[in-house]
Amino acid sequence: MRIFASAILLTFILSNLLNAGPVEILFTTSSDAQIENCHCPFDPLGAMEKRSYEINRRRQLGDLFLLDSGDFMPEEVDAIKASATLDIMEHTRYDAVTLGDQELLQGEKQLSEIVKRLPVVATNLMYNNGIALAKQQIELHNGDEIYLILSVIEPSLIEKLPGNLSSKFKVSDPVQTINEIAGSIHTDTKIIVLCHSSFQARNEYMKQWKGIDLVIGGHTEEKTEEVKITNGIAYIEAGSAGRYLGVAQFRRSRVRAELIPIRPELPDDPVVVDRILRYKSEYRKVGKN
């Protein structure tokens, strides 16, 4: 009887081990509050209701983390579009998002809503008085694995904010800040940096960062067809306007990644469709379309 019970236990453990694949890291970048698809034949990809459907579908298949590297808000100040975007982002259940210049551009009221309702990580960005704007790091767990999510924003992007907005924020040095944290973390922890910067700045940071496992870019709107390696660090970015959903996985020390096109044929998430219809009606009330 004892041998039979042990055999069942062993089978159970083995079957769980075989099923426990590496966690999927889904990522979105530079979505630009592209709430509606333009339905253009030459640019058919991207729609928030279809991207949300695909994320939910993958969530039912296995464990995943969902990350965003900033500029999910509109390129201009737009309270109606920002509000709808935030509702949809909250519904999509992100695990960590960082702030790009487009989030800061929306103003203090909208920014505090973003920080209140989304899991924002802002490692090198704070208010000018030194008070933290959001969490400095977010730790995610998958079984025994630990993933530490950090972020940086390029200081010059803060300087370029219009009016007196730039004076409201302070940034610490992206290289020093990340290296200090990475140097104090257990080596088994995977460190992912959401990097909101230009190409040149990101390359400079990556050449000097130590102990980082993956960089997910934002702001440049680059569509990386394959994982790029700089200084032994993997780098990926998922284009812009929600055309692609990035999917990455760690396979031992390597990173595999692909970009899933958000095609018009994908089904809709009805909750997102409902919010989009409300957004359009709000727009019509103020004479826009």
Ranges of beta strands (E only) in 54-122 are 64-68, 96-97
For residue 23, give both structure tokens.
């966690």
- Choose, by CB under 5 A, the member of 50, 202, 219, 243 that binds Zn ion: 219
Ranges within 3-32 binding Zn ion (CB under 5 A): none
Residue 110 or 190: the one with the smaller Cβ distance to Zn ion is: 110
Number of residues that bind Zn ion (CB under 5 A): 4
For the CB of residue 30, give the shortest distance to Zn ion in the complex, in Å: 7
By the rule CB under 5 A, 100 interacts with Zn ion:
yes
Neighbours of 135 (CB within 10 A): 16
Q: 35 near 84, Cβ under 8 Å?
A: yes
Buried (b) or exposed (e) across 112-126, using 16+ Cβ within 10 A?
eebbeebbbbbbbbb
**3-state secondary structure at position 41:** coil
Residue 71 or 78: the one with the smaller Cβ distance to Zn ion is: 71
Could you identify the residue written with the tokens 């208010």? Answer: 127
Interface mask toward Zn ion for 102-141; x: CB under 5 A: ----------------------------------------
For the CB of residue 71, give the shortest distance to Zn ion in the complex, in Å: 4
By the rule CB under 5 A, 101 interacts with Zn ion:
yes
By the rule CB under 5 A, 202 interacts with Zn ion:
no
For the CB of residue 151, give the shortest distance to Zn ion in the complex, in Å: 12
- Choose, by CB under 5 A, the member of 32, 71, 222, 237 that binds Zn ion: 71
Q: 68 near 29, Cβ under 8 Å?
A: yes
Residue 70 or 119: the one with the smaller Cβ distance to Zn ion is: 70
d(CA 134, CA 161): 19
For the CB of residue 189, give the shortest distance to Zn ion in the complex, in Å: 27
For the CB of residue 228, give the shortest distance to Zn ion in the complex, in Å: 19
By the rule CB under 5 A, 54 interacts with Zn ion:
no
Q: Where are the alpha helices (DSSP H) in 142-287?
A: 155-159, 174-183, 199-208, 270-285
For the CB of residue 69, give the shortest distance to Zn ion in the complex, in Å: 9
Which of 124, 121, 213, 109 lies closest to 175, judged by CA? 124
For the CB of residue 157, give the shortest distance to Zn ion in the complex, in Å: 6
Residue 64 or 157: the one with the smaller Cβ distance to Zn ion is: 157
Determine the length of the chain: 289
Residue 54 or 71: the one with the smaller Cβ distance to Zn ion is: 71
The pairs formed by 115-119 with CB atoms below 8 angstroms and a separation of 24 or more are 117/86, 117/89, 117/90, 118/86, 118/89, 118/90, 118/94, 119/94, 119/95
By the rule CB under 5 A, 217 interacts with Zn ion:
no
Q: Facing residues of 35 across strands? A: none
What angle is formed at CA 280 by the lines to CA 278 and CA 281, rounded to 5 degrees?
Answer: 65
**Interacting residue ranges for Zn ion, rule: CB under 5 A:** 71, 100-101, 219
